Amino acid sequence: TILTASLAKPATSSSLTLRRPDDWHLHLRDGAAMAAVLPATARQFRRAIVMPNLKPPVTTVEQAHAYRERILAALPPGMSFEPLMTLYLTDATQAEDIRRAAESPYVHGVKLYPAGATTNSQSGVTTLARCTAALAALEETGLPLLVHGEVTDPDVDLFDREAVFIDEVMEPVRRDFPGLRGVVEHITTRQAAHYVRDRSQRGVDGRPNLAATLTPQHLLFNRNALFKGGLQPHWYCLPVLKREEHRQALLEAATSGLPQFFLGTDSAPHARHLKEMACGCAGCYSAPVALELYAQAFESVNALDRLEGFASLHGPAFYGLPVNADTLTLHKSPWTVPTELPFADGKTIVPFLGGETLPWRMAD
Ligand code: NCD
Ligand code: ZN
C-alpha cells in the first residue's frame, strides 16, 4: 500500500532521503535530564519506544501515562514527537497489569530486565518462574516482551552473557509461550543475530514474532574501542561491545533487509562526571548522532539502500503502527561532533563520538 511504500531516493554520492525513522529503544530519563536530551531525539525521530528504567521504575499503566505526559510537556514548541511507553516487568507484575497495559493506546511493550543486569535493574525479574501469569497474559494479548538479553550469573563470563541468555532463558520462554511476541533488545553477538534471523516466524497477521534492535555502536565498533590508547568510558555500554566477528554478524543482520531487524539506538544518557569516574555508568549517549552513525555503518558495506527498511519500515510493521508520512535527509558533509553538551543541574554530557569527525550529517 501507499502507506508502507519506500520514500527513499537512490543515494547519490552526496545525499540520502528516507522516510522519517523511529527509535525502537531509547532512554529518556526524567526531569531536567530528560528536558536536556529529548530535543536531540525528536529532531531525528518521529517516535521512540521509551525504556521504563527510571528510579523508581515505571511498573503501572498510570505511571506510564504520567511519564508520557511529562515527556510531551518537556518537548520544545514546534517539535512533534510521540513517546511509545513501556512497563517494567517485576516479580510482582500481575496478569491484570498486562491486560490493562495492552488496552492502553500508549503502552507498546513490557520490558524484562534480569535483576542486576544493567542500570536501574535492581527491581527486575529474579526468575522468570515468578512471571508465568504475566507471560501468559503477554501471549494472550500480543503485547511484545522486550528483553535485555543477558544472564546475571557471576560465574558466566561477561562477554558470554547474551549467548547464554538465548539458550537458557529466551528459548525456554518461547517454547513455553509459543504465541509470545518478543524483541531481543540491543543485540551484540553472532549468536543473537543468527537466533533472530533463523527462528523468527510470521504470525497469522504476517508480522514477525521475534525481532531484534541494533545500536549504532555495536554496528560500528568492536571491543578494542574500549581500550584504545587507554580506558574509554564513553564506549562502555551494556551489553558490552564484543569481538569483530560479532560486529560483522550484526552488520550483516541489520543490512539483510529482513523485517525482524530494526533500529534501536539504546541512547542512554549519563552526566559526564558519572561516566568518567571509578565505577562509571554504562550507556552511550548516541541520540545527537544516531542517523549519521547508522548511515556510516550501512555505507561501509554498500547497503545504504537497505537503511530505510531498517530505520523506518520494519519497526512500525512489527509494532502494528503506521509508517511516518514525512522524510529525513542526510548529506555527505563532514562535521565534528561537539565534545560536550549541556545536561541537567549545571552538569555536562559527552555525546557518543564527541570530538570525532563524521562523514554524514542530518539536514536541518
Ligand atoms: C542503559 C541505561 O543507562 O539505562 N545502559 C546501557 O548501557 N545500555 C540500560 C540498558 O539498556 O542496559
Ligand atoms: Zn537500553
Summarize pLDDT for 80-124 with one digit per residue, the tens.
Answer: 999 999 999 999 999 999 999 999 999 999 999 999 888 888 889
For residue 292, what are the CA distances in angstroms to 296, 308, 313, 319?
Answer: 6, 13, 18, 24
How many angstroms separate the CA atoms of 19 and 351, rounded?
A: 25
**Is residue 121 lining ligand 1, measured as CB closer than 6 Å?**
no
Residue nearest to atom 4 of ligand 1 (CA): 119
Residue 118 near ligand 1, beta carbon < 6 Å: yes
Question: With a 6 A CB cut-off, is 37 part of the ligand 1 pocket?
Answer: no
Residue 2 has pLDDT above 60, yes or no: no
> Which of the residues are catalytic?
266
* Cell matching residue 61: 499503566
Segment 248-288, tens digit of pLDDT: 999 999 999 999 999 999 999 999 999 999 999 999 999 99
Cβ contacts of 326 within 8 Å, gap of 6 or more: 19, 20, 46
Task: Pick the residue whose CA is nearest to atom 5 on ligand 1.
Answer: 283
Neighbours of 128 (CB within 10 A): 17
Distance 32 CA to ligand 2 centre (A): 19
The pick from 23, 30, 53 for probing ligand 1's pocket by mutation, whose C-beta has the most ligand atoms within 8 angstroms, reads 53
Give me the torsion for CA of 241, 244, 250, 252, rounded to 10°.
Answer: 160
Chain mean pLDDT for the chain: 96
pLDDT at 3 over 70: no
Query: What pLDDT, on the 0 to 100 scale, is given for residue 4?
Result: 63
Q: Percentage of the chain surpassing pLDDT 90?
A: 93
pLDDT of residue 9: 77
120 CA distance to ligand 1 middle (Å):
8
Ligand 2 centre from 1 Cα, in Å? 33
The residue written with cell numbers 565498533 in the block is 221
Q: Is 234 in the pocket of ligand 1 (CB under 6 A)?
A: no
Which residue is it, cell 514474532?
A: 209
Starting from the CA of residue 235, give the closest ligand. 1
pLDDT band at 5 (very low <50, low <70, confident <90, very high): confident
Q: How many residues does the chain have?
A: 364
Q: Is the CB of 266 under 6 A from ligand 1?
A: yes
Ligand 2 centroid to residue 116 C-alpha, Å: 14
| Cα–Cα distance, 161 to 173 (Å, whole number) | 17
Is the CB of 119 inside a 6 Å radius of any atom of ligand 1?
yes
In ligand 1, the atom with minimum distance to the C-alpha of 117 is 12
Q: Among all ligands shown, which has an atom nearest to the Cα of 28? A: 1
Q: Which three cell numbers stand for residue 303?
A: 547497503
Is the CB of 25 inside a 6 Å radius of any atom of ligand 1? no
Q: Model confidence over 293-349: pLDDT tens digits?
A: 999 999 999 999 999 999 999 999 999 999 999 999 999 999 999 999 999 999 999
**Beta strands 341-342 and 210-214: pairing type?**
unpaired
